[in-house]
Amino acid sequence: MSNRLTDMTWKEFASRTADTVIVPVGSTEQHGPHLPLGTDALIAEHLALDIADRIHGIVAPTLTYGYKSKPLSGGGPLFPGTIDMNGATVVAITHDLLRELIDDGVRSILVLNSHFENEAFIVEAIDLVTRETEGRATIMETNWWDPLPTDVIEKVFPEGGFPGWALEHAAVTETSLMLHYEPGLVHLDRYRPEPDARPLAYARYPVRSSDVPAQGGLASPLGSSAQKGRLIARSCVDAVERYCSTEFQSKDT
């Protein structure tokens, strides 16, 4: 049986409400000249399916539209194809989805986020639902970057070239994950070397076109590989499996 909720009949789902439901949350956002607009959503969905294999989880349909891409990160409205949801919209859809899962009897939910800007709004929805339902379900939120141990980062950037997460937009980690999961959608040949973006200690509005490198990525994707992507993915799945075991265990016994 598939682990995708989409593919299950209601009776199949009804027989598995004791399993953890995984909600992938991505975005539709420019990812440089070489990655598709669906990069975040695709990564979240693939990772969710891999985690589901490990923990016999159920993968809910991916939230493919995410919170606004920040001006000094993805460039916000500068690039066509970036589709920015308002914060209230992200809260609303996440809220309704979580509430319905809980009302259906689900007690362990993992929200897997692959677009940094989503985080605060997802967590707000989790908080609101937790209050409303008086904590009936355990809800965990994580992503694929925070769980990575230092040694993995060192392997991905063997010569110390890690530019910091703030610049890892359409750069080595995302490109490697896409080469691992969706190689047919990666066009590294279209990338022309240009200077990395400069991380700032502040946000400033309105955005100016010079805030983001012309091609859209913040740091170079050169050096990406499917092997690195597999390493990142496996490392993330390992860690999340551990977190689920810690946090959801009391529910399973």
Residue 41 or residue 48: which is nearer to its own copies going by CB? 41
Q: Which stretch binds its own copies (CB under 8 A): 29-37, 46-54, 152-160, 222-230?
A: 29-37
Closest distance to its own copies from the beta carbon of 29 (Å): 8
- Please, what's the b/e burial string for 69-81 (b: 16 or more CB within 10 A of its CB; e: otherwise)? bbbbbbbbebbee
Q: Is 132 in the site for its own copies (CB under 8 A)?
A: no
Among 153, 155, 163, 185, binds its own copies (CB under 8 A): 185
Rounded to 10°, the helix 172-181/226-252 angle is 80
Closest distance to its own copies from the beta carbon of 157 (Å): 19
Under DSSP, the state recorded for 3 is: S
Tokens encoding 55: 């923990």
Asked if 204 and 221 count as a contact pair (C-beta separation under 8 A), the reply is no
Using CA atoms, how far apart are residues 199 and 225, in angstroms rounded to an integer?
25
For residue 169, indicate whether it is catalytic. yes
Closest distance to its own copies from the beta carbon of 26 (Å): 9
Q: Which of residues 60-119 bind its own copies (CB under 8 A)?
A: 60-62, 64-65, 68, 70, 76-77, 79-89, 91-93, 95-97, 100-101, 103-105, 117, 119
C-alpha angle 112-171-72 in degrees, rounded to nearest 5: 80
Active-site residue, selected from the candidate residues 19, 34, 40, 50 = 40
Q: Is 13 in the site for its own copies (CB under 8 A)?
A: yes
- Distance between first and last Cα of the chain: 24
Using CA atoms, how far apart are residues 146 and 252, in angstroms rounded to an integer?
26
Among 56, 243, 249, 251, binds its own copies (CB under 8 A): 243
Q: Is 223 in the site for its own copies (CB under 8 A)?
A: no
Residue 34 or residue 228: which is nearer to its own copies going by CB? 34
Instruction: Identify the three-state secondary structure at position 225.
Output: coil
User: Any idea which residues carry the catalytic annotation?
Assistant: 29, 31, 40, 115, 117, 169, 174
